[in-house]
A and B are shown apart, each in its own frame.
Chain A
Amino acid sequence: MSTRYDVVIVGGGGAGLRAAIAVAEARPDLSIAIISKVYPMRSHTVSAEGGAAAVIRPPDTLDDHAHDTISGGDWLCDQDAVEAFVAEAPGELLRLEHWGCPWSREPDGRIAVRPFGGMRRVRTWFAADKTGFHLLHTLFQTSLRYPSIVRYDEWFVTRLLVDDGRVWGVVAIEVMSGRIDAITAESVILCTGGCGRVYPFTTNANISTGDGLALAYRAGAPLEDMEFVQYHPTGLPFTGILISEAARAEGGWLVNRDGYRYLQDYNLGRPAPGPVLRSMELGPRDRLSQAFVKEVDRGRTTDTPWGPVVHLDLRHLGAEVIEARLPFVRELCRDYEHVDPVRELIPVRPVVHYMMGGVSTDLVGATALDGLYAAGETACVSINGANRLGSNSLPELLVFGARAGAAVAEAAGRHTGPAPAVAAQARDEEHRLESDLLHREGGRERLATIREELRETMEQGVGIYRSGDSTAKAADKLYELRERCRNAAVDDHSRVFNTELVAALELSFLLDVAESIVRCASLREESRGAHQRTDFPARDDERFLAHSQIRRTGDGASTVSYRPVTITRWPPAERVYGR
């Protein structure tokens, strides 16, 4: 069976909803389907805490935001993309305000802003410390106004339909019934978020399995800069739950086992009692996570059953500030760590948080495949370069979600189709799902065993620091895991809400994403931003002021090439923090 729409959006988080609204506003006559493996308000955007950056008032300028973003990204950002991003971010956040987002306010009623890591001006809009939650619910509820948006809630997309270099839709399973359908469209926008679940210790939700990355990769679209994985410096041990950077923006300190603010030893400035922009605890995430590893090497961290930790100290902020500005941080610490930050230190360690890389797109989200677009964390435009600054991801998904939506609306009606070959592909995929997964018998090992080994492989091979040796070992192990995955057991043969089938499909996506990360990390023989090679400790602009592009070739192998970084007004320079 197949249903046709003008636009199919895969993923109902912030980027997907913003794109859908943009299409509906530009062209109310176009039919739009949002296909999401969870109800949209469950999407991982919901977990973003600290805020959304956009220039709001003088003395801040667009150039300041652009320069912070570019230096934060260690000069790997495409500067034309960054310029578009900073210029449109204020309008997007204002639109959210007009749609009802409950932004925190100044006493006079204007939008309030807070400092954030790596930002030289105070420009981060926030809704207490549940910014992503409020942003997502505002977008979702607003999307209900548009009759042209149809939702496929709890449908899992298994492959893109491609004919002659053009994407014509998707094949998806309705989880509730097990029904498999082709859903065709003139344009497909991938908005499936990140892939944190390829690592063992991550802030990301269980659903962040890189589905869109793998779908695009399998269809032949290149992935860009996949070696750049962000570790957030403050995750709770055991769970990996995020303690927002807002905690440091409000004045929190990071201290080692001696109670010493150790960041002063890592070229991040001198400690002051209050928060200082672009200094110490408000340095960029890559540098803070790397400093943690150095502290471990110096034996100045505290050992716990979940590995070494340092501590985040909020006690001096007082109950009033913590309750008003960081209520969720307090709730999470009490619930999951049994500590109250008003009176106690919070144990934290670096945790995988964000994928800077993604499906390679131009400035309106178009990929190398005609008809295929991507936006949000799934995409690499690239505005984040080698290290994303905190509070840039929410405005990114709004700006580029809206751009992708406008672009597909503009392009609508140029093609008639889909091509007949697409129907045959859809039947093939249905057959694969039926025979390979729903009727798989006698698998040898559990999916979870392979998944756990995969995650451990990634942490060992492509963690905060990596090397030629570590990536080579990881690549060998991935090869083995891929073989074993083919014969893993899928015990559940039912059609109704078969979550084991979903887990099997997600695991195969994770394996593809892992392969792209390891391959790109092994080939980038320099250290830049979140990619730190112990065997190549310096940045090498001669060879690597370039985006890696990994593409799967017909025989299942992959090739990596490099595309120059677009420099407009800010020539590569040293990243300077704390002075």
Chain B
Amino acid sequence: MADTITLEVARYRPEQEDEPTTQCYEIPMRREWTVLDGLNHVKDRLDGTLSFRWSCRMGICGSCGMTIDGDPVLACETFLTDHHPGPVRVEPLRNFPVIRDLVVELTDFMAKLPHVMPWLVADEPPPDTEYLQKPAEVDEYQQYSMCINCMLCYAACPVYGLERDFLGPALIALAQRYNLDSRDHGDHDRLEILSAPEGIWDCTFVGECSRACPKGVDPAGAIQRYKLEAAKRTVRSLLLPRGRR
């Protein structure tokens, strides 16, 4: 294995340049290093002006999503050895405005987050003890509760790239996380936002979101399942008087 590897990093400093540029950094090639370790080597020893987000370095905080050799991935879970001999192309996540270098703007996602009511809606005051929930009932929604908000599914989603109003994969999966929770009674309230034009119906079911997810969440499955449910409800709401829906 060579001693070094080159990172080809997309740079963009809005105060200095109008267009993104590329800067190459030669870094040590080490078996145990992730791309994040490589970027930190650059930041610490070669160029303090390179900006990127990171924190936990163990794939749970969701900060370091970027495009590496064309794919949306977490830099802390992407090993240099898997991109040997390089060069390794490192760019910001697609489909988001770039603030600077590898840092993208998440304002749109954060603003839409409350729209899907991502909290437990109870129909009566909670009991004095826990709500009983059997392991099989936990399994119903658990997968959708594993989302770390890393934005990789948005970067992979062709619809979000074209349609900024689209809620997007993670938020629909999050709505389903609560809809499928036996303790929740908010599915009716979430129907309106999810079945609006910018909700589930925008999705063309390409499935890129589920392939991109680093935590095994299946937003495409959530969307497909919800489309069926929403269609049934819509039919019911048209045919039945309100009390029997």
On A, residues with C-beta under 8 Å from B are 38-39, 41-44, 46-47, 94, 97-100, 102-105, 107-111, 130, 133-134, 137, 141-142, 144-145, 153, 176, 205-207, 238-239, 241-242, 328, 331-332, 335-336, 446-448, 489-492, 494-500, 503
Contact = CB atoms under 8 A, between A and B. Distances in A.
Contact of B56 (A47, A144, A153, A495): A47
A106 B131 CA distance: 12
Contacts of B59: 331-332, 335
Given A46-B60, A110-B130, A142-B119, A497 B103 contact: yes
A509 B149 CA distance: 29
Interface in B157-184: 174, 178, 181, 183-184
Given A47-B60, A105-B135, A494 B16 contact: yes
Contacts of A134: 145
What 9 A-B pairs come out closest when comparing CB atoms? A109-B132, A448-B44, A100-B120, A98-B126, A141-B118, A492-B49, A497-B100, A205-B55, A144-B114
B242 interface: no
Nearest to A331: B59
B48 A130 contact: no
B13 interface: yes
B51 A498 contact: yes
Contacts of B62: 41-42
Interface in B173-202: 174, 178, 181, 183-184
Given A111-B130, A176-B99, A446-B44, A144 B55 contact: no
Contact of B119 (A105, A109, A141, A153): A141
Given A41-B149, A47-B56, A105-B138, A490 B15 contact: no
Given A38-B63, A41-B149, A494-B16, A98 B120 contact: yes
Interface string B63-90: 1000000000000010000000000000
A411 B98 CA distance: 43
Interface of B: 13-16, 32, 43-45, 47-49, 51-63, 77, 99-101, 103, 105-106, 110, 113-114, 118-120, 122, 126, 129-135, 137-138, 141-142, 145-146, 148-149, 174, 178, 181, 183-184
Nearest to A306: B32
Contacts of A46: 56, 60-61, 148
A102 B44 contact: no
A340 B214 CA distance: 19
A506 to B, nearest CB: 12
A100 B134 contact: no
9 contacts: A44-B61, A47-B60, A98-B131, A102-B141, A111-B130, A335-B77, A447-B44, A491-B47, A497-B100
A238 to B, nearest CB: 5
Given A94-B129, A491-B49, A497-B51, A104 B138 contact: yes
- B contacts with A: majority SS: loop
Contacts of A242: 58
B13 A100 contact: no
B133 A109 contact: yes
Contacts of B54: 206
Contacts of B106: 39
Nearest to A177: B99
A448 B56 contact: no
A364 B169 CA distance: 41
B55 A99 contact: no
A47 B58 contact: yes
Contacts of B101: 497
Contacts of A145: 114, 119
A496 B13 contact: yes
A100 B113 contact: no
A205 B105 CA distance: 22
B102 to A, nearest CB: 10
Given A42-B62, A105-B138, 20 more contacts: A41-B148, A41-B149, A42-B63, A44-B56, A46-B148, A94-B129, A98-B130, A100-B119, A100-B184, A102-B145, A103-B130, A108-B134, A111-B130, A137-B145, A176-B99, A207-B55, A331-B59, A446-B45, A492-B49, A496-B100
Residue among A41, A44, A242, A492 having the largest count of chain B Cβ atoms under 10 Å:
A41
A42 B76 CA distance: 14
B100 A447 contact: no
Residue among B14, B59, B122, B130 having the largest count of chain A Cβ atoms under 10 Å:
B130
B130 A94 contact: yes
A172 B15 CA distance: 21
B56 A494 contact: no
A137 B118 CA distance: 10
Nearest to A106: B135
Nearest to B54: A206
A238 B32 contact: yes
Contact of A100 (B99, B114, B181): B181
A43 B63 CA distance: 10
Contacts of A43: 61
Contacts of B131: 97-98
B51 A499 contact: yes
A500 B103 CA distance: 14
Contacts of B100: 494, 496-497
Contact of B48 (A104, A144, A205, A490): A490
Contacts of A137: 145
B57 A205 contact: yes
Contacts of B149: 39, 41
Contacts of B13: 494, 496
B60 A130 contact: yes
B81 to A, nearest CB: 10
A99 B16 CA distance: 47
Given A44-B56, A99-B119, A100-B120, A494 B63 contact: no
A497 to B, nearest CB: 4
Given A94-B129, A205-B61, A497-B99, A492 B138 contact: no
Contacts of A494: 13, 15-16, 49, 100
A111 B130 CA distance: 7
B110 A39 contact: yes
A44 B118 contact: no
Contacts of B32: 238-239
Contacts of A500: 43, 48-49
B133 A47 contact: no
Given A107-B135, A108-B132, A141-B118, A206 B55 contact: yes
A328 B178 CA distance: 22
Contact of A144 (B63, B118, B120): B118
B230 to A, nearest CB: 22
Contacts of A110: 130, 132
